[in-house]
């Protein structure tokens, strides 16, 4: 067992978060007990307005807690001088980068200011760390590019490289995948998880992307609209029904087998599918997208589909009300289903 996995980089005890204005408190969540450990990649989930960004900002020291205590590596958070704290914790927020005429290298070099000072030059150690940070996020070749010229994905990589240049053991990220397309989101999540494991960092990332969180996180923190924080391994929470409770919606069902939400199917519109493999899997998903429930073997269904392989292709044999047809592509099948009148549900 790796003993470093038990090292707690950031802890919170009896923490209450929220806002205070003119003596009036608005509490978002209270009595939180948290620990971010070495080598751990945690995703923070929750409905809009539940307090994900408030928690990130509070843990980063950017917003004072209403009550409770925070510790960084066993030191009381606010007793640590700001410059030393910047060597221990880094933050990546969703706010736009300061574009101006700054190039990517200059932005990443800002991460070395806790070591060199605002007016200090970069020594060989600083330059080596900056080069490592660019390489760690796959941003080599961007050093001389102006920030204004970078794509959203490239800017996000540079922002994370700046945080890595700080050499902090804790990194907090607020919605870093928000403006990225799917391939870039997957790439970034993979980079962050690998960094946490390889460098023994504690990484906490807030996100709305449940699918990616289930795929990449070591543990999940889920904040609810009534201020509770539920913690656990992704697989445990997926099987327990916690997702259904937190993200409850009258139009959605939680599918524990797939680890995703799906729209309520029409209870009277069911299809029976025979077949195995990827073509049958995607046929099932297509039917669910079209509003069908998947019938069990002993259930009555409005439609029966058999997915089978011939010598040179896959085919879909369909039967409805005694009428039969065969389609040679899933697209043909979908078009046929959409053209049919299902108002009678039989």
Give all domains of the chain, ordered by start, each with its CATH number.
3-250 (3.40.50.300), 270-339 (3.30.160)
Local mean pLDDT, 10-residue blocks, the chain (346 residues): 72 92 86 95 91 93 93 92 94 75 91 80 92 93 92 90 95 90 90 94 94 93 90 89 74 71 72 91 89 85 90 89 90 91 71
pLDDT value at residue 12: 95
d(CA 330, CA 276): 15
Would you state the pLDDT for residue 99? 62
Q: Residue 251, Cβ neighbours under 10 Å: how many?
A: 7
Measure the CA–CA gap between 140 and 105, rounded to whole angstroms: 10
Scanning the structure block, which residue is given the tokens 């980089």?
9
Q: Cα separation of 264 and 254, whole Å?
A: 10
Q: Please calculate the CA angle 63-158-87 and round it to the nearest 5 degrees.
A: 50
pLDDT in the model for residue 164: 94
Token representation of residue 166 = 């700080």
State residue 3's pLDDT score: 53
Does the model's pTM come out above 0.85? no
The pLDDT of residue 96 is 65
Contacts of 302 (CB under 8 A, 6+ apart): 268, 269, 270, 271, 292, 320, 342, 345, 346
The answer to whether 262 and 252 have CB atoms below 8 angstroms apart is: yes
Question: Distance between CA atoms of 45 and 28, rounded to whole angstroms?
Answer: 15
CA–CA distance from 37 to each of 7, 87, 137, 312, 344 (Å)? Answer: 5, 17, 21, 53, 57
pLDDT score, position 178: 84
What pLDDT, on a 0 to 100 scale, did the predictor assign at position 89? 96
Place of tokens 């751990």: 40
C-beta pairs of 23-29 under 8 Å, 24+ apart in sequence? 25/66, 27/66, 27/227, 28/54, 28/55, 28/227, 29/54, 29/55, 29/223, 29/227, 29/228, 29/229
Question: Among 54, 17, 12, which Cα is nearest to 35's?
Answer: 12
Q: How crowded is the C-beta side of 282, counted as CA atoms within 13 Å?
A: 9
Can you tell me the distance from the alpha carbon of 303 to that of 301, in angstroms, rounded to the nearest whole number? 5
Query: Which segments within 144-275 are labelled E, that is strand?
Result: 170-174, 202-206, 219-223, 229-232, 252-255, 260-263, 270-274
CB 163 within 8 A of CB 90: yes
Nearest to 261 by CA among 190, 321, 211, 312: 211
Provide the pairing of β-strand 67-72 with 252-255: unpaired
The token pair at 192 is: 């962050």
């Amino acid at each position: 067992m790796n003993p470093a996995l038990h090292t707690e980089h950031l802890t919170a005890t009896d923490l209450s978060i929220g806002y205070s204005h003119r003596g009036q408190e608005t509490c978002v969540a209270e009595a939180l007990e948290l620990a971010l450990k070495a080598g751990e990649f945690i995703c923070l989930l929750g409905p809009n307005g539940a307090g994900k960004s408030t928690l990130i900002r509070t843990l980063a020291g950017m917003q004072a807690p209403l009550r409770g205590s925070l510790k960084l590596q066993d030191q009381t958070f606010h007793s640590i001088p700001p410059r030393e704290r910047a060597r221990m914790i880094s933050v990546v927020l969703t706010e736009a980068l300061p574009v101006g005429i700054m190039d990517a290298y200059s932005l990443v070099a800002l991460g070395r200011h806790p070591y060199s000072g605002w007016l200090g030059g970069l020594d060989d150690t600083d330059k080596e760390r900056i080069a490592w940070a660019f390489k760690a996020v796959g941003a080599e070749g961007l050093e001389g590019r102006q920030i204004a010229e970078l794509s959203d994905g490239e800017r996000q990589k540079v922002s994370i490289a700046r945080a890595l240049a700080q050499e902090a053991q804790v990194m907090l990220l607020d919605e870093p995948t928000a403006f990225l397309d799917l391939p870039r989101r997957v790439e970034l999540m993979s980079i962050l998880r690998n960094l946490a494991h390889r460098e023994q960092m504690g990484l906490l990332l807030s996100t709305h992307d449940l699918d990616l969180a289930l795929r990449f996180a070591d543990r999940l923190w889920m904040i609810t609209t009534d201020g509770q924080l539920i913690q656990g391994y992704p697989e445990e929470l997926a099987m327990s029904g916690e997702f259904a409770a937190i993200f409850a919606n009258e139009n959605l069902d939680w599918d524990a087998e797939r680890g995703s939400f799906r729209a309520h199917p029409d209870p009277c519109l069911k299809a029976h599918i025979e077949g195995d493999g990827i073509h049958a899997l995607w046929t099932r998903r297509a039917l669910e997208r079209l509003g069908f429930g998947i019938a069990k073997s002993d259930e009555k269904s409005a439609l029966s589909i058999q997915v089978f392989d011939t010598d040179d292709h896959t085919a879909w044999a369909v039967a409805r009300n005694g009428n039969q047809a065969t389609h040679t592509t899933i697209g043909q099948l979908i078009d046929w289903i959409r053209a049919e009148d299902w108002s009678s549900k039989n």
